[in-house]
Amino acid sequence: MLFARDEQDATLLAATVVVKNTLILMSADMPKFTKCKVTPYAEEQLEGLFAVANPWERLFMSCFLFTGMREQEVSHLYWRDVNWEEWDISVTAKPELEWTTKTYEERTV
């Protein structure tokens, strides 16, 4: 027989009885991290990175630095996603590649 110490334990026990072999995480189980101030690259560091990069790497680094896009978003861009007249880049799902944007996945869940 299972006994609960408080209401939270009772809720957890009820959930584990309904769904056997289920791992239930609590806030105490979540990883700890410390917030720290993010320091951007110095101009000399960026010049060094771009100096040793090939043209494709420069293109990727420029997208990361100037747009803030994620790695998967940049790697799944097509030229048609770039609107040169409007200075706009559209990050859209690519069903043919079985890839969706992170925000698209969050909305559908």
pLDDT for position 28: 64
pLDDT for position 21: 59
The pLDDT of 19-43, averaged and rounded, is 71
β-strand partners of 56 = none
Q: How many domains does the chain have?
A: 1
User: Is 89 inside any structural domain?
Assistant: yes
Query: In the predicted model, is pLDDT for residue 22 greater than 80?
Result: no
User: Is 3 inside any structural domain?
Assistant: no
Range of the domain at 71: 42-109
Question: What count of residues does the chain have?
Answer: 109
Buried b (16+ CB within 10 A) or exposed e, 19-30: eeeeeeeeeeee
User: Is 79 inside any structural domain?
Assistant: yes
Query: In the predicted model, is pLDDT for residue 11 greater than 80?
Result: no
Query: In the predicted model, is pLDDT for residue 107 greater than 70?
Result: no
User: Is 99 inside any structural domain?
Assistant: yes
User: Is 17 inside any structural domain?
Assistant: no
Backbone angles phi, psi at 60, to 5 degrees: -60, -50
Cβ pair 58, 50 in contact under 8 A = yes
pLDDT for position 81: 92
- pLDDT class of 25 with cuts at 50, 70, 90: low
Q: What is the pLDDT of residues 35-72, one digit of tens each?
A: 888 888 899 999 999 999 999 899 888 888 888 888 88
User: Is 10 inside any structural domain?
Assistant: no
- pLDDT class of 27 with cuts at 50, 70, 90: low
Q: Retrieve residue 89's tokens.
A: 């880049």
User: Is 2 inside any structural domain?
Assistant: no
How buried is residue 17: exposed, middle or buried, by Cβ count under 10 Å (0-12/13-18/19+)? exposed
Q: Retrieve residue 37's tokens.
A: 């101030």
β-strand partners of 94 = 99
User: Is 47 inside any structural domain?
Assistant: yes
